[in-house]
Structure 1
Amino acid sequence: MIETKIGNIDGDSWEELCQQVYKRRYTTYQEMVASPGDWGIEGYVRGEGIAIQCYCPSKLYSANELYQKQVNKITKDLNKLSEYKKELLDRIGTNKDDLIRQWIFITPNYQKNEILKHLLKKEKEVREENLEFISPDFKVLIHTIDDYLEDIVAIQSLKGEKLSLSESYCQTIEKVESHDDYSNNIYRKNRVRCTNNGNYSEIKHAKLNEITKEKFIFGDKLIRNIEITIPEIYQAMAGIINQYESEVEELCCTWFGSHTELIEKIRDQLKQRLVSEDKVKNSISNSDIDEVVDHMISKWIALCPLEVE
């Protein structure tokens, strides 16, 4: 499963969504169910000469890995047009208006334009097969989420699904390595927290520094464990946390209460946002949510944007 601007998707949900898009767009769309077999197209539009094939990667790959996965899928499925030419001819026919003029590879995104070179290569190969159900001007195209975004939004809205269009919901929770600057920030800010009416407690300051660093370290381990074991919940948490993080600095700039009240307010608001998300609340224990919140407070103290005076 991968996180996209339209939410978490996998191979099955992506194919289902593509089918819904084409059924919405074309009354003559015919779904090619994989029974008795998969013949290189998910469906075709009669009278328009359009055939589609869907592909969603199983996880987030590097640009090179994604390119190779997509190239392999395109090659395999276009080769099936020749391999299953009799079966496809029996279902598509030879009517001039129904001949396949466009074979569209629909994938959430692609990152290397080299794939366009491969499309042209495979297009030429298919034309040279002179298949009866393929038009002489046959083209191979690649489409992404952006080509169908209006349709997808309409479909998801009708299903009552929440849309996450903010870029913050496509990010991860930043992993931070140990650095002297972070320790300096913790020391400086915690000194303010341990000073009351001009009275500074060195003992409390040292202890608070230890607590802050522990919450920083152990909370990060928990977050990485969530990322590995339940990635869908991790993505939901990342969206909430990243969105709220963008508000913390502004809150600090306009805050005129005590530093203790500021930190408590940030802690309460972040936890409330996390438990308000059903996917998070139903999958993560309350104690783990508290640990995540404590980690983010310590992280924001170490890195900013949480500034106390």
Structure 2
Amino acid sequence: MSRGDQALDFEGNEWEEFCRQALSRKFGAAWQKIPAKNRGDWGLEGFVRQQGIVVQCYADDSVSNQDRTTKQKAKLTADVPKLQRNTTVLEAVLDMQVDSYVFLVPRFDDKELLPHAKTKSDLARGWGLPWIAPSFAITVNDIDFLKEEWEALRGAMRPVIELAPAAAFAPNAALVETLVRKLDVIPRLAADAGRADTWRQMLVRNYVDGNGILLRLDEISPDYHDRITRIVAGREKHLALRTDASEPLDDLMELTSSLAEAIHRDISAIDDADVQSIAGNIVADWLMRCPLEYAP
């Protein structure tokens, strides 16, 4: 993905952090976030003072559009009733009538989410709460809602840093043995020894090349390196969901691409080719260390 493209694949914490920054930029001092650390966030990310707008941000770990839509519906089903349960504190804190509930998701590809949002809007209006306006409606918005803020915060105008690779090290024999074992259970490779060897060589090369880039990045910008480490840690928690992927090779390519997008989204100053090397290293490392494994 080029730095000018929109990025759609966010891990939950990444999306929430971006939304907080973007909404603060979009609405200025009128934006008020609601921290979730102490007894939850009342079902809201925040609100816009005296504009009748409340916001909830949500990103999931889905690997299909159907699963994503199911989880988005479930999120609305779970969160909208919190408005009623927390009505006393919300009425006092918001100090306004709310007519717009903005449900912000990074990706919105299924129009079936719209009637579900309308059903939840009707539900909320039916409570007859004084701070919920008769015109109250839930709108589903994706990253286009924050397009200007995206360009300002993650846009393409930052300088690109030079990352001549540092001296890298190859994976040890035990890691390569683990990689070979995992590739051997993938049907498309088990039936073709030549293709399996090509994938093995490619993944080992990705590991070495990306390792050199990461070592150099840690030398010249530890902050960027730490940000990548946080992105990787957030995604590594969900790798078990990919175990039963029907086409593991396609899944490996998609996983590498989405990881590269996430890194570019957060650090646009790193060149496209270097980001691809970093993503390739991480995916190869996941296979060798065992967070990522496909079922036979």
DSSP 3-state at the match of 1:127:
helix
2:105 paired residue number: 107
Q: Deviations over 1:138-183 (max 9, x none)?
A: 1110000122222112111499598xxxxxxxxxxxx9958xxxx9
DSSP 3-state at the match of 2:133:
strand
Preserved contact between residue 117 and residue 138 of structure 2 (Cα < 8 Å): yes
Q: Deviations over 1:7-54 (max 9, x none)?
A: 752111101111111111113111111133221111000121111001
1:10 paired residue number: 11
Taking a change above 3 Å as real, the CA distance of residues 41 and 281 of structure 1, as seen in their structure-2 partners, is: closer
Preserved contact between residue 275 and residue 281 of structure 1 (Cα < 8 Å): no
Preserved contact between residue 274 and residue 280 of structure 1 (Cα < 8 Å): no
Preserved contact between residue 226 and residue 233 of structure 1 (Cα < 8 Å): no
Task: Name the aligned partner's letter for residue 145 of structure 1.
Answer: I
Query: Following the alignment from structure 1 to structure 2, what is the Cα–Cα distance between the partners of residues 282 and 213?
Result: 20
2:25 paired residue number: 24
Instruction: Give the share of equivalent positions with the same residue, in percent.
Output: 24
Preserved contact between residue 226 and residue 234 of structure 1 (Cα < 8 Å): no
Taking a change above 3 Å as real, the CA distance of residues 91 and 146 of structure 1, as seen in their structure-2 partners, is: same
Paired residues in the alignment total: 203
Preserved contact between residue 109 and residue 144 of structure 1 (Cα < 8 Å): yes
DSSP 3-state at the match of 1:9:
coil
Unmatched segments (≥5 aa) in structure 2: 161-185, 207-247, 264-271, 288-296
Taking a change above 3 Å as real, the CA distance of residues 117 and 6 of structure 1, as seen in their structure-2 partners, is: same
Q: TM (normalized to structure 1)?
A: 0.54
1:56 equivalent to 2:55? Answer no
DSSP 3-state at the match of 2:109:
coil
DSSP 3-state at the match of 1:41:
coil
1:137 equivalent to 2:161? Answer no
2:75 paired residue number: 73
Per-residue deviation at 1:215? Answer: 3.8
DSSP 3-state at the match of 1:111:
coil
Correspondence 1:148-297 to 2 at 5 A:
148-157=146-155, 160=158, 177=188, 213=195, 215-216=197-198, 218-219=200-201, 231=255, 235-236=259-260, 279-280=278-279, 283=282
Query: Following the alignment from structure 2 to structure 1, what is the Cα–Cα distance between the partners of residues 159 and 58?
Result: 22
1:36 paired residue number: 39
> Which structure: larger Rg?
1
Task: Name the aligned partner's letter for residue 82 of structure 1.
Answer: Q
Query: Following the alignment from structure 2 to structure 1, what is the Cα–Cα distance between the partners of residues 116 and 24?
Result: 28
Taking a change above 3 Å as real, the CA distance of residues 129 and 216 of structure 1, as seen in their structure-2 partners, is: same
Unmatched segments (≥5 aa) in structure 1: 163-174, 184-209, 240-272, 289-309
Per-residue deviation at 1:64? Answer: 2.0
DSSP 3-state at the match of 2:44:
coil
Query: Following the alignment from structure 1 to structure 2, what is the Cα–Cα distance between the partners of residues 213 and 61?
Result: 26
Task: Name the aligned partner's letter for residue 42 of structure 2.
Answer: W
Per-residue deviation at 1:282? Answer: 6.6
1:90 paired residue number: 92
Preserved contact between residue 59 and residue 105 of structure 2 (Cα < 8 Å): yes
Task: Name the aligned partner's letter for residue 236 of structure 1.
Answer: A
Query: Following the alignment from structure 1 to structure 2, what is the Cα–Cα distance between the partners of residues 281 and 232?
Result: 6
Query: Following the alignment from structure 1 to structure 2, what is the Cα–Cα distance between the partners of residues 161 and 125?
Result: 49
Task: Name the aligned partner's letter for residue 43 of structure 2.
Answer: G
Q: TM (normalized to structure 2)?
A: 0.56
Per-residue deviation at 1:125? Answer: 0.7
Preserved contact between residue 233 and residue 279 of structure 1 (Cα < 8 Å): no
1:199 paired residue number: none
DSSP 3-state at the match of 1:105:
strand
Q: Deviations over 1:231-271 (max 9, x none)?
A: 4687439x9xxxxxxxxxxxxxxxxxxxxxxxxxxxxxxxx
Task: Name the aligned partner's letter for residue 130 of structure 1.
Answer: G
Point out which structure has higher relative CO (alpha carbons under 8 A, 6+ apart).
2
Query: Following the alignment from structure 1 to structure 2, what is the Cα–Cα distance between the partners of residues 231 and 108?
Result: 17
2:176 paired residue number: none
